[in-house]
């Protein structure tokens, strides 16, 4: 049975701020292999959700460099998993964090922003780490940014804001019945 819990925005941001300028040794570093941005943001979202989806190909998980879902480190795949794009729809209704694309005004601390270039290719993922008046501050890797103003990303022609709505997780209540029936605690 699936249950839902809130996404812990404070923990996600704390993680992003701690590791924005260095690398957590628990995870592979994709610098020089297409970039480390989405890998880093997945780590921060994991810090705020503590739940992975281990479905091969269409899930969102990291075990090692050789054993991870495409959504863990790929910009487009991350978006598809979090928002439940067609191939990922069954997984977005399953275990793990989930999001929806929102206008900038609805973006909150711990939400994710992705950038597209002039060719329309989505190439970068960052996390909202704060606000300075109307300015959004972000943390990122690949370009190692700690509380960088969003407006300073001048190469980003288009931006999409992903509001993390919550986290689904598996609850196993079968043991409850068995224990009650046996008269055990």
Number of domains forming the structure of the chain: 1
CB 104 within 8 A of CB 161: yes
Full domain range(s) for residue 160: 2-182
pTM to 2 decimal places: 0.90
The SS3 call for residue 176 is: helix
**What angle (nearest 5°) sits at the alpha carbon of residue 82, between those of residues 22 and 80?**
105
Is residue 178 predicted with pLDDT exceeding 70?
yes
Cα dihedral sign, 67-100-161-22: negative
CB 27 within 8 A of CB 64: no
Contacting residues for 82 by C-beta, under 8 A, at least 6 apart: 60, 71, 92, 97, 98, 99, 112, 162, 164
Q: What is the pLDDT of residues 1-24, one digit of tens each?
A: 788 999 999 999 999 999 999 999
Average model confidence (pLDDT) across the chain:
91
Query: Where do we find the tokens 């060719």?
Result: 119
Burial (Cβ within 10 Å: 0-12, 13-18, ≥19) of residue 71 = buried
Q: What is the pLDDT of residues 72-126, one digit of tens each?
A: 999 999 999 999 865 554 555 689 999 999 999 999 999 999 999 989 999 999 9
């Amino acid at each position: 049975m699936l249950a839902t819990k809130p996404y812990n925005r404070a923990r996600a941001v704390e993680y992003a701020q701690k590791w924005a300028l260095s690398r957590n040794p628990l995870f592979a570093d994709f610098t020089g292999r297409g970039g480390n941005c989405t890998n880093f943001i997945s780590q921060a979202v994991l810090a705020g959700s503590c739940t992975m989806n281990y479905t091969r190909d269409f899930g969102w998980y990291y075990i090692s460099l050789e054993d991870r879902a495409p959504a863990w480190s790929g910009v487009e795949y991350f978006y598809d998993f979090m928002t439940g794009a067609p191939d990922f729809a069954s997984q977005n209704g399953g275990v793990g964090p989930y999001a929806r694309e929102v206008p900038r005004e609805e973006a909150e601390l711990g939400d994710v922003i992705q950038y597209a270039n002039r060719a329309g290719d989505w190439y970068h993922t960052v996390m909202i780490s704060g606000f300075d008046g109307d300015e959004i501050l972000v943390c990122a890797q690949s370009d190692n940014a700690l509380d960088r103003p969003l407006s300073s990303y001048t190469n980003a022609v288009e931006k999409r804001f992903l509001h993390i709505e919550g986290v689904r997780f598996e609850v196993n209540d079968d043991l409850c019945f068995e224990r009650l029936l046996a008269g055990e605690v």
